[in-house]
Structure 1
């Protein structure tokens, strides 16, 4: 196809249509210019001559046109050779292009293979890089062991616990421990975990040592200045509180490092102590012991001064009011100072209970030796109304965590008073009601009622206006305990004679509605029982007290004593049967839940 196309192109170039016409014109011109030496046609005489002439003419014509043909032949040969060279070049070019195409395909194939190999190498490189990064990231948790060990075991390592680098190191130790615990399948993870735990214990021990040392230095400075000379209240307050507040923020911050790691176990039923909780307990114990050396002697001294004061030395309620107010102020100051040294209240109330020990040492003997029920009731009322939360308010309002829970501290004193009050009430029931021997005039109710009617009639005849208190009414007990400011002559009915109970009943019973005339007609044990119930109403808890009206032993004893002997008969039998005494209703409010008590407190004995 290509050779035919090349031949067609060469023929169009070497044999144009205008060349044949030009050749014919030349031949005609040559025929006209025949050489002169050729004989004319007229000289031909026979056929032989004509044949000779024709051959000569033909040869001359051939000779005349040979150059032209030769030139055309040469031109054609040249064209042919040129076309042959073109065909050769085209064939070689096609071969070259074919070779180039093959080479291109080979290069393309090689390039594709190379690209795939490069992609494989890049993928392997990325995998190796990621693996190296993972190894480096995991290895850093192992490499941190040596520098941390050198730093914590270096001389003077305890002096660096306040720096930020030490906190960063503790954070890195936490991260390493967490990593070892979350990757237990890695080789030697258990070994490194135990080593890191030892380093953490070492670091927190350094914090504990520095904390205790700093606290000891502050105590030594303050105690030395206190022992040197007599100080006024302002200077004493500066030494006891202001001096302890100077370095408290930094020590609180490093103590927080232990508190953050004193995490309770995940399973509280195991009974195991929180990790590093013992170190935190040591901080609390050292602080409490240091403050106790400064505060407790001062508390003893001030309480002894209050005990020897003329206004409170003989009166239990006055001494309790003054001493508890003083102790409450000290506890509030220590509560605020504790908040500047520690986060939270763990161990705080144990320390405050040790501060309250001098108060219990002074109050408990006075409570045990106090025989007057009135005084015990006044003290119990003082503690319940001033220092303890109301039962209804305690249910509706919870104690703020940022405020001192002083009721929890004063609860042991209230329990001592209640125990003594229960004991005295039991003794009063036994001596004045259960063992009471009725007299004939106590059982002669017709005469007593007649005397009472005569006194009422005389009052009406005399023109005196009968008030609501002059008419017999039903006794109602007070809904709340009375104030502590009771008359000093309000003593137990057991301390007076039965004949004198009528004249002094109003001042001794402290009831609201009955008058002396109403009480004069009552049976003696009934008067005493209602007096006792009106005193202890809501002052003692239901569960530890066997004499409350809920169990009604008082009613049974009173009814037993008011019943006449079986051998004695009376003509007015229907009138001598005493009325059942009044029993106080059960308290309508819910029983207050017990507050936390001190483990070291012992119950009061008689």
Structure 2
């Protein structure tokens, strides 16, 4: 083999000398230091090697011999058996060697040359004896090399045999691999054929199902639809139709698809015929028993609902298949489903019409009170529609539009009598009660989160009625009856009539209101209201919305009738009309109320100017509270994030009016400060009220201060009496005598304690409510104006050079004003 080493020769190998690294004594001492014991051992070896004795064969028998003995004599004296070195092999027999040693000289040494020759012989003998073990080792190595060469030859033979076996194994392996590949190809071809056969069989199943379906449909009898394999066959036919539609590239697929569709149409027709026939038979039986005498209401409910629910358990699976296929194939099967709906609704209507008519007649629509008729009739219809809805769900899961159309037809029997009563009702309170009844019936119809889509309600949302909620729920199927859809028409009629009636009331009782003398008897009305009531008065029950629960609403008997009527109309409308409509009518009512208040104040001004302006300010402040209440309610309903619950009081409004700056600020600034502002829808009405209120307040302040400040002003501008010398030169002018400042101050004190105290009491009488003392705002302005006039008088008195010790100081005057006004 190429990988094996070459055969060794018979001669020993010549080893190349290896150069050993030189190592000095110092390096040796540094790398291998000696201990004390080693040093002593080396010293002993050194001392022992200083005197090397001669070999034993050369030792003399006598220690004191004068000349060294020859090797032959040494050999004779001492045997060589105890020598440590091997002797040099000598020729000759054992007896001759024992007598004559080969190294002994043959002749005695006489000359130096003989000695040198003998010594050379001795030296060669010693060298030969020293190399004997090397020669023995070389011979041993040669024998080993010979054995190794023999082994190498044997290994080469074995290697050749193994190489031959390996080549044979490789040939067998290649042959087996070829056989394996051939078998694998055969297996793959077999698997492909099996898979192809299975796929062909699977595809053929969709075609072979037609024979099974046709064979089943050819069996006559209505009981076919009740067989256990019928619905399974329908499912298989539906799957085959879908499969063939998805694989229209198959051969003759259009023919099979058409025949499958024919089978599906025949199946659905059989279901429809069975359903219609079952309904007809059940209707005939129920009608016959209903027309019998003495049928109790419980028996009627059993016949109209329990009997139908019993049949529904058998018909529901069939109708579900029809509905599902109608959704999948609307062009072919929707007409059959519509026929089922028509047959069902016709059957139910024929059984219920007579019963509904009798119930409505029992309510006596012509003479029963409208509210009671609405409550009883709509409650009965709601229960009837709920029962019909639940019964319909036992048969169908679709057809919501047809169902609500059918329920509306049932409700029309009551609405035909209820609508004319609502449209001709003249009383606003009755219309509000009708709306309340209808909303109470609809409030349970509010969409409940989580019933259909699993969502949770928002805790911050308020309960509200959405009349268009049914449009949202159509996608979820028949989950819950939406009564709002059925009551929507009646509620809209009531709201429309309520709106027009409210407009009529606003025009007649607010715009064209003719005040009576007792309506303008101010302040007598307020004074009488302060007196304790006797408890014998009979007060009419009034319904007021929560948004108009104003702090001063408890004293409505002191209000002007138009304001009272405005609050009452708006409170009636707020909960029953849409916000946009309510804002429009509120703006109209508030504007007309303001105009009526201004007109009434003009009438009162003829006899009492101050009372007229206090009357106007009082009612305008109340009207502003109404506007702010509406604004807060709209913000809360609209989710604008406003947390204001109470509208601004009269005192806040007066402070705003008298500052004359609030109306100039933009709405964005108020929004950033968190302060409520009136919506733009009634902004115009608010501006009109602000203008009238500001003018009334300015007039009140002027009327309260002019009679007190005018003497002070006249004294300050009158000419000084010390300059009469200039006047005497003009005889045509009469000298004016100026009153003393002390007299003026005395008159000022008297006017404050009498007139101002009476005016302050009058202000509190008009502008005091149960929550804040709004008169204090006006009185502060009155005090400031009078105080400023007195301060001008004080400065004018000092400018004349007079002593002001006998005149009341400005702080004392202001303190007097505070005491009088509190």
Answer yes or no: same fold by TM over 0.5.
Answer: yes
Task: Name the counterpart of 1:22.
Answer: none
Q: Which residue among 408, 412, 427 is the counterpart of 1:357?
A: 412
* 3-state SS of paired residue (1:543): helix
1:6-405 paired onto structure 2 within 5 Å: 120-152=185-217, 154=218, 156=220, 158-263=222-327, 276-307=333-364, 313-343=367-397, 346=400, 347-389=402-444, 392-394=462-464, 402-405=479-482
Alignment equivalent of 1:429, drawn from 506, 509, 519: 506
Aligned partner of 1:28 in structure 2 is none
Q: CA deviation at 1:521?
A: 4.4
Cα distance in 1 between the residues matched to 2:480 and 2:600:
61
Output the CA distance in 1 between the equivalents of 2:192 and 2:568. 94
CA–CA distance in 1 between the matches of 2:277 and 2:547? 53
- Partner Cα separation in structure 2 for residue 565 and residue 247 of structure 1: 75
Q: Does 1:452 align with 2:525?
A: yes
- Deviation, structure 1 residue 222: 0.9
Quick check: 1:543 aligned with 2:543?
no
Q: Where does structure 2 lack aligned partners over 5 or more consecutive residues? A: 1-170, 447-460, 640-822
Q: Is the Cα contact below 8 Å between 1:476 and 1:512 reproduced in 2?
A: no
Residue pair 2:442, 2:484 contacting (<8 A) in 1 also: yes
CA distance, structure 2, for counterparts of residue 125 and residue 335 of structure 1: 62
Distance, in Å, in 2 between the alignment partners of 1:120 and 1:113 is: 11
- In structure 2, the CA distance between the partners of 1:345 and 1:405, relative to structure 1 (3 Å rule), is farther
Question: What's the offset of the Cα at 1:567?
Answer: 11
State the distance in 1 between where 2:422 and 2:491 align.
10
Number of corresponding residues: 430
Structure number with larger C-alpha Rg? 2
In structure 1, what is the Cα distance between the partners aligned to 2:368 and 2:173? 117
The answer to whether the 8 Å contact 2:248/2:254 transfers is yes
Distance 1:318 1:371 in 2: 16
Contact 2:529 2:558 in 1 (8 A): no
Which residues of structure 1 form unaligned runs of 5+? 1-105, 266-272, 470-474, 482-509, 593-606
1:554 pairs with one of 581, 589, 597: 589
Cα contact 1:434–1:561 (8 A) shared by 2: yes
Distance, in Å, in 1 between the alignment partners of 2:565 and 2:174 is: 121
Give the alignment's TM-score, normalised by structure 1: 0.61
Alpha-carbon displacement from aligned partner over 1:209-265 (angstroms, at most 9, x marks no partner): 211111111111111222343422122222212221222111011101112223379
**2:602 and 2:612 in contact (8 A); partners too:** no
User: Would the aligned equivalents of 1:317 and 1:378 in 2 still touch at CA under 8 Å?
Assistant: yes
Q: Does 1:576 align with 2:653?
A: no
Structure 2 length-normalised TM: 0.46
Q: Which residue of 2 aligns with 1:86?
A: none
Which structure exhibits the higher relative contact order, with contacts defined as CA atoms closer than 8 Å and separated by 6 or more residues?
A: 1
SS at match of 2:435: helix
**Shift of the alpha carbon at 1:375?**
0.8
CA distance in 1, matches of 2:581, 2:344: 37
Structure 1 equivalent of residue 801 of structure 2: none
Kept in 2: contact 1:212–1:286 (CA 8 A)? yes
CA 1:316–1:591 in structure 2 vs 1: closer, same or farther (change >3 Å)?
farther
Counterparts of 1:135 and 1:340 in 2: how far apart (Å)?
43
Report the RMSD for the aligned CA atoms in angstroms: 4.2
Match of 1:88 in 2: none
Cα distance between partner residues in 2 of 1:353 and 1:198: 37
The Cα shift of 1:197 comes to 2.6
Q: Structure 1 pair 125/191, CA: closer, same or farther in 2 (3 Å)?
A: same
| Cα distance in 1 between the residues matched to 2:429 and 2:438 | 14
CA distance in 2, matches of 1:127, 1:405: 61
Instruction: Output the CA distance in 1 between the equivalents of 2:350 and 2:280.
Output: 11
Alignment check: 8 A CA contact 1:263 1:274 kept:
no
Structure 2: how far apart are the matches of 1:395 and 1:410?
12
Moved more, 192-201 or 167-176: 192-201
* CA shift for structure 1 position 120: 4.9
